[in-house]
């Protein structure tokens, strides 16, 4: 199975586990203000990815938040290193496509908006190059060849403004909004206020998940951060030794 648990769907007073298939839902957009629980959610998702050893995971932490210190250094980039991380991920994407490989890879890019603004101010040509690479993967990376290979993008930012995506925003199969579903975010994602589930609570760790033209209220399971860090480091070591195993539906 290639399902990733994101938490519990809230239906009335009930909590129902909700899991999503990477094959069906490869590209994810995670947004919300500071303190909304984005990092808390992403850490939980990464734990599942490492535990299942399904993919080769890359992380670009543009603001060097320190939230990903458990990652293998070879698969973690911070600050300006994120430029080379995008190019490296794009190269792997092309290798999988051209050789019809069964490998699956994920790039989690944290603070994408900040990267776009910085890149545009430093080097417009480089900014366009890297944004075009991401846009191509969003459009073509779901299934590469006949052996089930794929390249997936998970983007984390505060506001999902279309300016940061160059027309590729609609290629995200899952859109997650943590905490406050503001009017501006609803407008950006073409959501109607009346469609937000009554169960959604404007609290850290609570969010809404938009997929298949439906909206679900959910909550990220509570966990101890120190214990989770230890689990992630242990899973990283196990995953590094074993390597990603193939798991297709």
3-state SS of 156-212 is EECCCCHHHCCCCHHHCCEEEEECCCCHHHHHHCCCCHHHCCCCCCCCCCEEEEEEC
Confidence (pLDDT) at 121: 96
Within 10 angstroms of residue 67's Cβ, the number of other Cβ atoms is 18
Q: Which residues of the chain have pLDDT under 70?
A: 1, 53, 239, 242-249
Assessment of whether the complete model's pTM goes beyond 0.85: yes
d(CA 156, CA 112): 6
d(CA 78, CA 222): 27
Nearest partner of 105 among 142, 62, 135, 160, judged by Cα: 142
Pairing of strands 3-11, 28-31: unpaired
Confidence (pLDDT) at 249: 39
Residues facing 176 on adjacent strands:
30, 209
Burial class of residue 81 (count of CB atoms within 10 Å of its CB; 0-12, 13-18, 19+)? middle
Within 10 angstroms of residue 74's Cβ, the number of other Cβ atoms is 9
Burial class of residue 4 (count of CB atoms within 10 Å of its CB; 0-12, 13-18, 19+)? buried
d(CA 50, CA 1): 14
Is the CATH code 3.40.50.300 the one for domain 18-169+224-240? Answer: yes
Reading phi first (left if > 0) and then psi (alpha if -120 to 50, else beta), residue 180 is in: beta
d(CA 207, CA 37): 9
Confidence (pLDDT) at 236: 77
d(CA 115, CA 95): 25
Confidence (pLDDT) at 231: 85
């Amino acid at each position: 199975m290639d399902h990733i648990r994101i938490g519990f769907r809230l239906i009335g007073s009930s909590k129902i586990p909700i899991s999503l298939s990477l094959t069906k839902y490869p590209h994810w957009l995670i947004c919300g203000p500071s303190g909304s629980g984005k990092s808390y959610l992403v850490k939980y998702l990464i734990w599942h990815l490492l535990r299942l050893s399904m993919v080769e995971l890359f992380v670009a932490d543009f603001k060097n938040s320190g939230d990903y210190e458990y990652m293998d250094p070879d698969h973690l980039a911070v600050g300006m290193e994120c430029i080379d991380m995008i190019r490296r991920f794009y190269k792997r994407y092309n290798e999988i496509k051209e050789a019809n490989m069964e490998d699956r890879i994920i790039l989690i890019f944290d603070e994408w908006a900040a990267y776009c603004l910085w890149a545009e101010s430093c080097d417009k040509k480089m900014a366009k190059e890297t944004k075009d690479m991401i846009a191509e993967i969003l459009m073509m990376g779901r299934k590469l060849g006949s052996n089930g290979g794929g390249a997936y993008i998970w983007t984390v930012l505060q506001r999902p403004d279309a300016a940061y995506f160059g027309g590729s925003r609609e290629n995200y199969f899952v859109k997650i909004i943590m905490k406050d579903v503001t009017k501006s975010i609803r407008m950006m994602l073409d959501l109607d206020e009346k469609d937000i589930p009554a169960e959604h609570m404007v609290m850290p760790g609570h969010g809404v998940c938009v997929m298949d033209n439906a909206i679900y209220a959910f909550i990220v399971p509570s966990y101890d951060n120190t214990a989770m860090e230890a689990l992630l480091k242990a899973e990283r070591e196990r995953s590094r030794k074993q390597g990603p195993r193939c798991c297709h539906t």
